[in-house]
Chain A
Amino acid sequence: MTNDQPLLNRIERAKALLSPYLDGEVTAVEREQLETALAQSPELQADLKSLQQTVALLGEMPRASAPRPFTLTEADVGLSAAPKKTGFSVWLKPFMGAAAALAALFVVGILVLLNFGSTKEASQIALAPAAPQMAQEAKMESPAPTLEMQRAAPEEAAEAPMEQPAAEAVNSAGIEKAVVEEMEAEGEAALSFAEMASPPEAAQESAAEVVPPAAEKMIEAGAAMKETAPKAEAADIAEIAMEEAPMALDAVSGAVKRAAEMTAASDAAGDAAEEPAPPPAATQIAEAIEADAALLTTPQTATLFVPLVAQEKRSSAETVSPPASAPVSADATPEVPVRQTQTGAMALAIGLAVMGLILVFVVAIFLIVKRK
């Protein structure tokens, strides 16, 4: 073994020299040693031959032409003529940042105010669950005064003197017509609001609170008009109003009864359902009341009845606290001046908008001056 070791070492060293030997990259001494070893070792000769074959195969590999020209464009190397920043644009940069910040503040302010408004509406809607008790009490209290008024109305109408000039009566009728149209719109809005937000009890309460007092006032107004309007037309309207007053009261009573029935049915059927969406009964009640109101508002009585109903609805909507006939439950929300708050919010929003506009104008003027 010890005699073979130098030979093995020589073979390993010779193998390491085979690759550069193929390329002619060996010194003269290395070449002489390697050729001596090759002559003595068939294994080394085979090794050399296999390497020669490998290099020859690699030399035959196909060469590829470039699939496309790799020449560069100005855009490739970022030499495209970018517009140079002027001193003005550099100066304007922080200013535009301030403008953007103000605009963002304005948008945030509007969003906050809108959110605040919707929160207030939600708090109003949240009062609705307290309505059943109020509605029951209203239902109990409302028939007595209206019947009394019904009896008193014809007597008062009969005693109405006819002393007012005709022009005043016509004027008054015209103003009332305009008010009627406005109030009808408000009445429809109130009905749709009741459909959206109120449970059946709330609709019942609305009917009990609003319509009977309106009927009372209608009778009173009829009597008053009969007293103050000597013209035959005004007198006729007043008489028709007073004739229809009992019908109105009957219709209201019917609506209240149906509302109570629907409330009971809704309570029985929908105890399990805790959805905040308005139950179908509420819509039906609102529709029933609306239909009854339509019966009452013939062209002649509309001038009297509708403004009064609308007035009642508006007065009940403006205050969160319930009317005297329907006392507030113990856990009801305290009164909040919603309209005042919304007015303040609108003022703030308008102020922010004005500030934004002023800023835009300043920037525009500055741009114009700078360009000149």
Chain B
Amino acid sequence: MNESQNIQAAQKGDLAAFNRLVMAHQGLAYNVAWRLMGSADAAADSTQEAFIKAFKSIKQYRGGSFKSWLLRIVSNTCYDQLRYNKRRPTEALEDDNFDSDYAPHLIDHAERPEEGLLRQELGDMLQQAISQLSPDQRLVLILSDVEGFSYQEIVQTTDLALGTVKSRLNRARRKLRDILLKQELLPQQYRQ
């Protein structure tokens, strides 16, 4: 069964068909959630909740990119959780400090250990920098520069105008660049 057939079956209540869609998209959904949330555990919870919401609302899916439709649900679920964490900051503070020691599934075992550590350390620093952006800027930056979405896909996913996506991504990149310069992750020659 291809994706559209699985979607049609899932719309008729076929949970097995929906689970095939889950298996096809769970990696992307989890990564987006992880970068948005900054915490592996919170990302897993949000991803699971988003898939449940998606199954319950799949009858409202009217065609188009299923990936974008699904990621919109994931991002909205993450926004809800971030707003909840903001109201209860004591629980969110620890989660924002991502520690790869607690996410062994992120380590690429094909790399040499020292390379993997450096890469992991850089990834942690980038994640901390991303977490300093607003959630809206974070989302377009992740979709574009981490997940490689086109502007059109970002428009479909975020339901924003193209101009808004362009300007928002431009601001997000500049802000992140400034953060990385402060952390000396970028060469000092780019300081202005």
Question: Which residues from chain A sit less than 8 Å from chain B, CB to CB?
Answer: 16, 18-20, 23, 25, 43, 46-47, 49-51, 53-55, 57-72, 74, 76-77, 79
A58 partner residues in chain B, CB cutoff 8 A: 126, 141, 145-146, 176
**When chains A and B are docked, how far (Å) is the Cα of A82 from the Cα of B51?**
22
Please determine whether B27 and A20 come into contact, CB atoms closer than 8 angstroms: no
Residues 1-53 of B at the A interface (beta carbon under 8 Å)? 13, 15, 18-19, 22-23, 26-27, 29-31, 34-35, 40, 44, 47-48, 51-52
Q: Is B185 an interface residue (CB 8 A)?
A: yes
**Are A76 and B31 in touch, CB under 8 angstroms?**
no
B15 touches A49 (CB 8 A): no
Residues of A within 8 A of B30 (CB): 64, 66-67, 70
Interface size on B, residues (CB 8 A): 54
Question: How many Å lie between the Cα of A54 and that of B141 in the bound state?
Answer: 11
Q: How far is the CA of A46 from the CA of B181 in the complex (A)?
A: 13
A-binding segment of B59-67, B79-87, B89-97, B116-124: B116-124
Q: Out of A16, A50, A64, which one reaches B34, CB within 8 Å?
A: A64
Q: Is the CB of A65 within 8 A of B145?
A: no
Q: Give per-residue flags for B88-130: 1 if the beta carbon is below 8 A from chain A beta carbons, else 0.
A: 0000000000000001011110000000000110110011000
B170 at the A interface (CB under 8 A): yes
Q: List 21 A-B contacts (CB under 8 A).
A: A16-B167, A16-B170, A19-B169, A20-B151, A25-B166, A47-B192, A50-B190, A53-B177, A57-B180, A61-B126, A62-B106, A62-B119, A62-B123, A63-B27, A64-B105, A67-B30, A70-B26, A70-B44, A71-B23, A72-B22, A72-B51
Structural contact, B27 and A57, CB atoms closer than 8 A:
no
B56: interface (CB < 8 Å) = yes
- Contact between chains at A19 and B170 (CB < 8 Å): yes
B166 lies within 8 A of A70 (CB):
no
Q: In the complex, how many angstroms separate the beta carbon of A223 from the nearest chain B beta carbon?
A: 93
* B161 contacts A by Cβ under 8 Å: no
CB nearest neighbor in A for B30: A66
Q: Chain A: interface secondary structure?
A: loop
Looking at the assembled complex, report how far the CB atom of B13 sits from the nearest CB atom of chain A, in whole angstroms. 8
Number of interchain pairs (Cβ within 8 Å)? 122
What is the CA–CA distance of A69 and B29 in the complex, to the nearest angstrom?
12
Within the complex, the shortest CB–CB distance from B127 to chain A, in Å, comes to 8
Cα–Cα distance between A65 and B29 once the two chains are bound (Å): 10
Does the CB pair A54–B173 fall under 8 Å?
yes
Residue in A18, A46, A59, A70 whose beta carbon sits within 8 Å of that of B51 in the complex = A70
Q: How far is the CB of A18 from chain B (nearest CB, A)?
A: 7
Contact, CB under 8 Å: B187 / A53: yes
8 nearest A-B residue pairs (beta carbon): A19-B170, A50-B190, A58-B145, A71-B19, A54-B177, A70-B26, A66-B30, A62-B123
Assembled-state Cα–Cα distance A231/B168 (Å): 123
B177, chain A: closest CB distance, angstroms? 4
Known: A64-B105, A67-B40, A77-B56. A50 touches B23 (CB 8 A): no
Q: How far is the CA of A298 from the CA of B25 in the complex (A)?
A: 99
Q: Which residues of B contact A53 (CB under 8 A)?
A: 177, 186-187, 190
Known contacts A61-B123, A66-B44, then 10 further A-B pairs from the complex at CB < 8 Å, ordered by chain A residue: A18-B170, A19-B169, A46-B189, A47-B192, A53-B186, A60-B119, A62-B108, A64-B105, A69-B26, A79-B15
